[in-house]
Amino acid sequence: MNIVLFGPPGSGKGTQAKMLAEKYSIPHISTGDILRDNLKRETKLGLEAKSYMDKGELVPDDVLIGIIKDRLSQSDCASGFLLDGYPRTLPQADALSTILNEIGKKLDIVLNIDVPPDDELIKRLAGRRMCACGASYHVLFNPPEQEGLCNLCGNKLYHRDDDKEEAIINRLDVYKHQTQPLINYYTKEGVMLTVNGAAGISEVFDEICRLLDDLKTGDS
Ligand code: ADP
Ligand code: ADP
Ligand code: ZN
């Protein structure tokens, strides 16, 4: 299955993607994780992306399109993929469709994780804590077993620079203006389904699994 997880910052894309990738054995491709990995390794790409990410702005489309083109052509995507955080602009969506065409694939579903009020998203992002291994937690909604430490690897959790108030407000604004229009784009293509992202983590997961299982049954 070729899946896009769509939704505003803090809607739960990363959280759900981790669980879905495991259940359906498909790679989780998070453009945010790829960019943060480049930042950490101080690659040319990471250095180029840094100033945008710190401010909560989008990194230029040509950079992201290059990343996705490379990643989708890798062999682990042969039996499906789960995109998290891409596409975020109309040019990125157009490029994705061109790339998929070129490699003889198409999107099966774009899942819109709908969480309406900004207040809830701000609470989620401000309380998010990350681990270098990719796991993420929330100080109230999904706390680790031991405060400040990752359940999976024991590493110390950190608070992302762009999960601080000013960058959060900017990211939500960027989402509304540049990313939200894609809901219309994918609705017109007939691949968009919406899930209630305001429910708890496991309820959202169950709803997504039901939709994906229906889709698989429909295929056969
Ligand atoms: P995104 O990848 O869409 O930005 P995350 O999956 O990182 O979002 O989730 C943002 C924060 O909200 C994290 O701290 C996560 O633990 C928490 N979270 C995710 N889903 C839910 C949910 N359904 N209810 C409450 N908190 C959630
Ligand atoms: P979140 O899920 O919390 O919004 P991500 O981890 O997906 O955050 O992205 C973090 C930052 O990385 C974004 O604010 C942006 O600067 C950059 N980024 C990630 N994906 C893209 C993309 N598809 N287009 C442009 N910038 C991106
Ligand atoms: Zn960890």
Over residues 143-171, the mean pLDDT reads: 95
Give 82-135 pLDDT, tens digit per residue.
999 999 999 999 999 999 999 999 999 999 999 987 999 999 999 999 998 889
Mean pLDDT of the chain: 95
Three-state SS at 98: helix
Q: What percent of the chain has pLDDT over 90?
A: 91
DSSP state of 179: I
Would you state the structure tokens that stand for residue 109, as one six-digit string? Answer: 């579903």
**How many angstroms separate the alpha carbon of residue 157 from the centre of ligand 3?**
8
Atom of ligand 1 nearest to the CA of 137: 16
Amino acid at 110: V
Residue 219: pLDDT band (50, 70, 90) is: low
Atom of ligand 2 nearest to the CA of 167: 14
Give dist(CA 183, CA 6) in Å, integer: 9
Query: Quick check: CB of 13 below 6 Å from ligand 2?
Result: yes
Amino acid at 208: I
Give dist(CA 113, CA 193) in Å, integer: 9
Burial class, 73, CB count within 10 angstroms (exposed 0-12 / middle 13-18 / buried 19+) = exposed
Counting ligand 2 atoms within 8 A of each CB, the residue from 5, 28, 34, 88 with the most, and so the one to mutate, is 88
Three-state SS at 156: strand
**How many angstroms separate the alpha carbon of residue 133 from the centre of ligand 3?**
4
What are the structural domains, with CATH classification, of the chain? 2-122+165-219 (3.40.50.300)
**How many angstroms separate the alpha carbon of residue 12 from the centre of ligand 1?**
4
Query: Quick check: CB of 64 below 6 Å from ligand 2?
Result: yes
Do residues 5 and 83 lie in contact, with contact meaning Cβ atoms separated by under 8 Å?
A: yes
What are the residues whose beta carbons fall under 8 Å from the beta carbon of 189, sequence distance 6 or more? 107
User: How far, in Å, are 12, 53, 83, 126 from residue 7 at the CA level?
Assistant: 8, 18, 12, 17
Counting ligand 1 atoms within 8 A of each CB, the residue from 13, 15, 196 with the most, and so the one to mutate, is 15
pTM for the whole structure: 0.95
| 176 pLDDT above the threshold of 90 | yes
Atom of ligand 2 nearest to the CA of 13: 2
Residue 220: pLDDT band (50, 70, 90) is: very low
**How many angstroms separate the alpha carbon of residue 217 from the centre of ligand 2?**
33
